[in-house]
Amino acid sequence: MVVLLKADHHRHHQGQSEERQREESRQELEEHKAREERFKLEKEKKAKKKNKIIAITALIFLVLASLIAYSLLSPGRYDSFAKCLTEKGAIMYGEDWCRYTNAQKAMFGKSFKYVNYQVKTNLDKRPTWVIDGKSYETVQSFERLAALTGCAI
């Protein structure tokens, strides 16, 4: 009988041990599933963040490209004035290294492409405008050029 009690006790103890192992396995499995879920959520969060960064970058690129295109394709502020000066026969002589010539060019901005500009060495003063056969040395104001040519600014 003692042997039977020991055997029953052993089986009972073994049953508890197996049950404890099953419970531990179940807990480990739940913890594993929870870790996988957290990993999946973190991965989705990173993917959303990455997509947001890509979208913002693309938007910035599009805005910059639009501004550049607008800047290049839109007319200059003084296009009609510069075209009129050329139509009236006004010529601006100067040299590209001269700061005064460059200052006069800068006044026109991107409209300068319509000015009849010629590089000429051996000038006493730069730039020199020739309008109706008369020379006008140094940087000229738009008002002065308009008065000399009859062009509207």
Which tops the pLDDT comparison, 59 or 8? 59
HSE-CB at 134 with a 13 A cutoff on CA atoms is 5
Of residues 80, 67, 71, the one with CA closest to residue 108: 80
Alpha helices in 74-141 (DSSP H): 79-87, 99-108
Could you list the residue range(s) of the whole structural domain that residue 132 is in?
79-149
Mean pLDDT of 27-44: 88
Segment 64-115, tens digit of pLDDT: 988 888 877 889 999 999 999 999 999 999 999 999 999 999 999 999 999 9
For the cut 60, the answer to whether the pLDDT of residue 10 exceeds it is no
| End-to-end CA gap in the chain | 123
Q: Is residue 87 domain-shared with residue 64, that is, in the same domain?
A: no
Q: How many structural domains are present in the chain?
A: 2
Domain edge (last residue) among 74, 96, 114: 74
Give the whole-number percent of the chain exceeding pLDDT 70: 90
Mean pLDDT of 24-49: 88
Q: Is residue 93 domain-shared with residue 127, that is, in the same domain?
A: yes
Phi then psi for residue 129, to 5 deg, are: -95, 140
- Residue 125's pLDDT is 95
Q: Is residue 85 domain-shared with residue 61, that is, in the same domain?
A: no
- DSSP β-bridge partners for residue 134: 131
- Residue 9's pLDDT is 54
Mean pLDDT of 114-136: 97
Largest CA distance in the chain: 138
Q: Is residue 66 domain-shared with residue 3, that is, in the same domain?
A: yes
For the cut 70, the answer to whether the pLDDT of residue 1 exceeds it is no
For the cut 90, the answer to whether the pLDDT of residue 117 exceeds it is yes
- Residue pair 89/83 in contact (Cβ under 8 Å)? The answer is no
Query: Which residue's structure tokens are 């000229």?
Result: 140
Q: Is residue 107 domain-shared with residue 140, that is, in the same domain?
A: yes
